[in-house]
Amino acid sequence: MILSKKALSRRTMLRGMGTAIALPLLDAMVPAMTALADTPASPSRLRRLGYVYMPMGCDATRWALPGDDLSQLSPTLSPLEPIRQHVTAISGLELKNAYPGTHATSNSAFLSCATARRTESTDYFLGTTVDQIAAQKIGQTTQLPSLEMSMDLIATVGQCDNGYACVYQNNLSWSSPTTPLPSEAHPRIVFENLFGEGGSPAERRAALKKRASLLDSVSKEIARLKNTLGPGDREKISEYLDSVREVERRIQQSETASRDNPLPDLDRPAGVPAAYADHARLMFDLQLLAFQGDVTRVITFQLARETSNRTYPEIGVSDSHHPLTHHGNDPEKVAKVARINRFHVSLFADFVQKMQATPEAGGSLLDHSLYLYGSGMGNPNVHDHQNLPILVAGGAAGNMRSGRHIRFEKPTPLANLHLTLLNKVGVPLESFADSHGQVDELFETLSI
């Protein structure tokens, strides 16, 4: 007997006490007799967009690639080695509308390609960011139209940079020219936004006391569902829920460590890992779960805010990041900036590897996603917005030609790349901001 329709809805949720857990794509959700059921990923299944922001540009001498492919990686990009066949580097992109060169406009223009109104007050004005344009189209059928994440727990207010309001460097995403979307840096809150019912901090603490684990509250529903599925789907659900439980365990472990710490820490609420790398990996793992469970299809993530004074002792950099970028060509300071750049790339590379190792619909989670990694600043020592450090990962389901280095000889708008990625995930636009075309080199042209 050949089935002609889905046996299980793609929107099936496991429901428990104040909890709803979305499921990954299962064979039981895929219609029989379709290309998706039995063949590798097809272009029509490219449906997710992610953006990772690296603050304060880079040391271009250690970022720059020597050739037209990724066979020989530069020192900063060397962590991409295990996944270089899934990544494309792009050189020669610029943000004209980010001038005059500032940290605030580097951040604000990265996804908007718009000119920020110079103001220290609340009459700020920018432009709708590309992620929100995507969310309006591909995010309306998911639990969250988009997810905004960051690594900085305290959002500064007032004037932050040369007469620009702090809102410009606090927020990557804007749903309209006057509506910035705040990002969340606390993994527990992100986790509960994805899987729990939310509420105030006091309500969340009470809910945690009620249940030892989010998954324990849906254990009966899990057992019932598994009895209706084939062996492959049962294994897939088990692996996904194991990932949910592991993220939950790490959050609880961080909360315990924070409570047991006798030193005051006003900037780090309970539940946030003390080490930057542990915090970042946890935030990346939450992104993986959000995409895998189809809770959202659009994500933005700031690795740090512009003008961040964060130090990175885990890689031997005790100097604050922002002052280091004003290095005056001091070789020692430049080398430390490059070390931070490489560290950030390594965290992204680890995440891309996990996405590639997550099966989905005849391919991987990475195949059905596009991630843009980069900065709105080129050379931080002079605050320019040319030759931006840009990487694009994933996209095999849209015939992305990866493992290459695309170089533009003349400065080319970053908006061209944004326009290209929008069109590839099914958001057809003729132009975006100051774009004057698409990056056709990024994808294979299918012959009919």
Please tell me what DSSP assigns to residue 218: G
pLDDT of residue 196: 67
Percent of the chain whose predicted confidence (pLDDT) is above 70:
80
The answer on 387 and 315 residing in a single domain is: yes
pLDDT of residue 235: 79
Q: Which residues contact 85 (CB under 8 A, 6 or more apart)?
A: 70, 402, 403
For residue 447, being part of any structural domain is answered with: no
Phi, psi for residue 82 in degrees, rounded to 5: -65, -20
The answer on 193 and 135 residing in a single domain is: no
Residue 5's pLDDT band, with cuts at 50, 70 and 90, is very low
Residue appearing with tokens 């979307």: 181
For residue 132, being part of any structural domain is answered with: yes
pLDDT of residue 362: 83
How far apart (Å, rounded) are the C-alpha atoms in residues 213 and 18? 12
How far, in Å, are 343, 348, 387 from residue 58 at the CA level?
A: 12, 15, 10
Q: Where among 256, 271, 286 does a domain terminate?
A: 271
Residue 124's pLDDT band, with cuts at 50, 70 and 90, is very high
* Helices and strands counted in the chain (H then E): 13, 15
The answer on 132 and 213 residing in a single domain is: no
Does 385 have pLDDT greater than 90? Answer: yes
- Note the helical H segments in 139-272: 167-170, 187-195, 201-210, 219-226, 231-260
Does 276 have pLDDT greater than 70? Answer: yes
Residue 266's pLDDT band, with cuts at 50, 70 and 90, is very low
What is the extent of the structural domain holding 331? 43-185+297-442
For residue 279, being part of any structural domain is answered with: no
CATH code for position 102: 3.40.720
Residue 16: how many CB atoms within 10 A of its CB? 21
The answer on 29 and 122 residing in a single domain is: no
* Tens of pLDDT, residues 204-239: 455 555 545 667 767 777 777 877 888 878 877 777
The answer on 333 and 192 residing in a single domain is: no
Does 129 have pLDDT greater than 70? Answer: yes
Peptide bond into 313 cis (omega under 30): no
The answer on 122 and 23 residing in a single domain is: no
Joined tokens for residue 396? 């095999």
The answer on 320 and 417 residing in a single domain is: yes
Does 313 have pLDDT greater than 90? Answer: yes
For residue 276, being part of any structural domain is answered with: no
pLDDT of residue 384: 95
Supply the Cα-derived Rg of the chain in whole angstroms. Answer: 22
pLDDT of residue 157: 59
Q: Which residues contact 279 (CB under 8 A, 6 or more apart)?
A: 151, 187, 272, 273
Percent of the chain whose predicted confidence (pLDDT) is above 90:
62
Q: Which residues contact 307 (CB under 8 A, 6 or more apart)?
A: 56, 103, 160, 161, 169, 322
Residue whose C-alpha is closest to residue 308's, from 164, 124, 151, 165: 151
Mean pLDDT, residues 269-289 taken together: 88
**Which comes out higher in pLDDT, residue 125 or 195?**
125
Mutual angle of helices 103-112 and 130-138, in 10-degree steps:
30
Joined tokens for residue 334? 């430049």
Phi, psi for residue 344 in degrees, rounded to 5: -60, -45
The answer on 350 and 205 residing in a single domain is: no
For residue 292, being part of any structural domain is answered with: no
Mean pLDDT, residues 235-260 taken together: 71
Please tell me the least confidently modeled range out of 128-142, 241-255, 403-417.
241-255
User: Is residue 416 within 8 Å of 438, Cβ to Cβ?
Assistant: yes
Does 357 have pLDDT greater than 90? Answer: yes
Residue whose C-alpha is closest to residue 376's, from 304, 429, 442: 304
pTM for the whole structure: 0.82
Peptide bond into 100 cis (omega under 30): yes
The answer on 431 and 335 residing in a single domain is: yes
Task: Please report which helix (H) or strand (E) contains residue 135, including its range.
Answer: helix 130-138
Number of domains into which the chain is organized:
2
For residue 233, being part of any structural domain is answered with: yes
The answer on 398 and 301 residing in a single domain is: yes
Q: Where among 236, 271, 306 does a domain terminate?
A: 271
* Tens of pLDDT, residues 187-213: 988 988 887 654 555 664 555 555 456
* Tens of pLDDT, residues 141-188: 888 999 999 998 766 655 577 789 999 999 999 999 999 999 999 998
* Tens of pLDDT, residues 7-60: 666 556 666 545 566 667 677 776 543 434 333 334 447 789 999 999 999 999
How far apart (Å, rounded) are the C-alpha atoms in residues 172 and 397? 27
Does 360 have pLDDT greater than 70? Answer: yes
User: Is residue 414 within 8 Å of 95, Cβ to Cβ?
Assistant: yes
Residue 89's pLDDT band, with cuts at 50, 70 and 90, is very high
Question: Mean pLDDT across the chain, nearest whole number?
Answer: 84
| Helix, strand, coil abundance in the chain, percent, nearest 5 | 40, 15, 45
Mean pLDDT, residues 278-284 taken together: 96
**Which comes out higher in pLDDT, residue 259 or 369?**
369
Residue 288, amino acid: L
The answer on 361 and 251 residing in a single domain is: no
The answer on 180 and 204 residing in a single domain is: no
Does 4 have pLDDT greater than 50? Answer: no
Q: Where among 236, 254, 271 does a domain terminate?
A: 271
Distance of CA 105 to the CA centre of its chain: 20
